[in-house]
Copies of this chain bind each other. A is one copy, B any other.
Amino acid sequence: MRATIMYCAGDVRVENVPDATIVNPTDALVRVTRACICGSDLWPYKDLAPTEKGRRMGHEAVGVVEAVGKQVQKVKKGDFVMMPFAFSDGECAFCHEGLQTSCVHGGFFGFSEGVGGAQAEAIRIPFADGTLFVLPVREDHALLASLLTLSDVMGTGHHAAVAARVAPGKKVAVVGDGAVGLCGVIAAKRLGAEQIILLGRHPTRIALAKEFGATDIVKERGDEAIEQVRKITGGFGAHSVLESVGTEQSMLTAVNIARPGGAIGRVGVPHYPKAPAWEPTFYKNITISGGPAPVRAYVQELLPDVLEGRIQPGCVFDRVIGIDEVPDGYRAMDKREAIKVMVKP
């Protein structure tokens, strides 16, 4: 089968690899209907050290179950499923608490040894019963794009909003105009935010953010952006800040635009060792929360809104490519020519 492998920064290849198969009796084999490229895939695309074996890429997909292991009970052949970016056994304390990204037997697609990536024709799913969510529609459903976002980007935007304690009447700021930030706008609107400020300057993304419910756009950067956010929030900053980038600079901006007593929901994988401005954060009583989104736990809540068209996170996809064009998809996202690229293997 064809699968995506990254060998080092900037070197993504689609190659023939042995077909994915059932390995453990709790596995399922899923033929990928749609996959995509994640903003977080761009980090190794920028800085992955050369590796001989390469890293299988992709952790978001919807697809059809082709086969299941002997111990799989809930998922069956022919089911149309959503695959969260993390696999989880569905049985441990953390799975029961809805924090599947901390499952004691779990891991992340594309990172855990022996588990493939989703930017491929097929993928082996560990702990199929705990990991997969069986979608109540067929694989040719009109809302395929939005369903695909439940495997990461929409669930992650929602997690940022939940971690930042978005609620009716709150003033919200979103740092980062990538697909996660845009889904954060959807999530903030969905949770009743009164004001939603997107920090960004890319015209296409701004237009989409407005469509999703952003009430204000701050195009300035650095200190000017901070001043502008404070000004349009009545002087004090935002109750809730969604940090969807993961750089020290973006966290610093988040801290500076957060209102005293406010909360920052961070979902951008941090690429810096220590959190900045630790004393101001303390004196302002700011709460910092977030991490890898337990998207498996959020499907139940978000799915009805997707199926009934109340939210349309699938609009973040502005390019659809075949499996062999994946390297160009990385390039396009890295150059910010595309917001998010969908892969149709």
Per-position contact with B for A248-290: 1 when CB-CB < 8 Å, else 0?
Answer: 0000000000001100001001101111101101111111111
Q: Which residue of B lies closest to A288 (CB)?
A: B288
B269:A236 contact, CB within 8 angstroms:
no
State whether the Cβ of A155 lies closer than 8 Å to any Cβ in chain B: no
The interface residues of chain B lying within 8 Å CB-to-CB of A292 are: 282-283, 285
Which range holds the interface residue count of chain A?
A: 20 to 34
Known contacts A102-B261, A261-B99: A270-B282 contact under CB 8 Å:
yes
Instruction: Tell which of B274, B281, B282, B290 touches A285, judged by Cβ atoms closer than 8 Å.
Output: B290
User: How many copies of this chain sit in the oligomeric assembly?
Assistant: 2
- Measured in the bound complex, the distance between the Cα atoms of B220 and A20 in whole Å is 48
Known contacts A260-B102, A261-B99: A273-B278 contact under CB 8 Å:
yes
The interface residues of chain B lying within 8 Å CB-to-CB of A298 are: none
State whether the Cβ of A119 lies closer than 8 Å to any Cβ in chain B: no
State whether the Cβ of A64 lies closer than 8 Å to any Cβ in chain B: no
A282:B261 contact, CB within 8 angstroms:
no
State whether the Cβ of A163 lies closer than 8 Å to any Cβ in chain B: yes
State whether the Cβ of A101 lies closer than 8 Å to any Cβ in chain B: yes
Q: How far is the CB of A265 from chain B (nearest CB, A)?
A: 10
The interface residues of chain B lying within 8 Å CB-to-CB of A94 are: 260-261
Instruction: Tell which of B163, B270, B273, B282 touches A291, judged by Cβ atoms closer than 8 Å.
Output: B282
